[in-house]
Amino acid sequence: MTIELRAVAEDDLPFLGRLTDDPDGAGVHQWYGWHDPHRHRRRWEENGLLGADGGVLLVVRGSERAGFVSWSKAIITRAGHCWEIGLILAPEFRGRGYGRRRNSSWCGICSTIRRCTASRPEPRSPTWPNSGR
């Protein structure tokens, strides 16, 4: 079954919260602390999480929610900008190559424009506070 992107529906909002506001859903590399639990709903009501300077699309495999892709415009100089693109997969979809394949296809698109960089956080030290280990 293939992975696809689709617009976020209202009933997807709790899933987005799980991947951003729950330490277990976010994982040790994407847990940045507690956020406003209503921010996704407000943005969804405002513009469906799709705007001129950024947005969010759901990653799905059939009817299963696998994660989400987000992007935002980053101003780098007074005359230029770049796009930051991120992908977060639900824990049950991690380690299966979905992120690697998706990032490869993005880099193919990005490289025709300028350049594309991808990074993966290094594992935190076992002594790091809140590392989940």
Compute the mean pLDDT over every residue in the chain, rounded to the nearest whole number: 80
Helix, strand, or coil (residue 81): strand
For 30, list phi and psi in degrees, rounded to 5: -120, 5
Q: Is the pLDDT of residue 59 over 70?
A: yes
For the chain, what percent of residues have pLDDT higher than 70?
A: 74
Q: Is the pLDDT of residue 65 over 50?
A: yes
Between CA 20 and CA 26 the distance in angstroms is: 5
**Token couple for 118:** 């991808």
Give the pLDDT confidence score for residue 25 in this predicted structure: 87
Give the pLDDT confidence score for residue 132 in this predicted structure: 46
**Token couple for 91:** 């824990």
Whole-angstrom CA distances from 121 to 21, 31, 90, 117 are 19, 12, 17, 13
**Contact between residue 90 and residue 67 where contact means Cβ atoms under 8 Å apart:** yes
For the chain, what percent of residues have pLDDT higher than 90?
A: 44
- Amino acid symbol at 125: S
Token pair 């696809």 is at which residue? Answer: 4
pLDDT tens figures, 2-26: 889 999 999 999 999 999 888 888 8
Domain spans, the chain: 3-111
- What's the pTM? 0.73
- Which pLDDT band holds residue 103 (cuts at 50, 70, 90)? low
Taking residues 53-63, report their average pLDDT.
94
CATH of domain 3-111: 3.40.630.30
Give the pLDDT confidence score for residue 128 in this predicted structure: 44
- Which pLDDT band holds residue 48 (cuts at 50, 70, 90)? very high
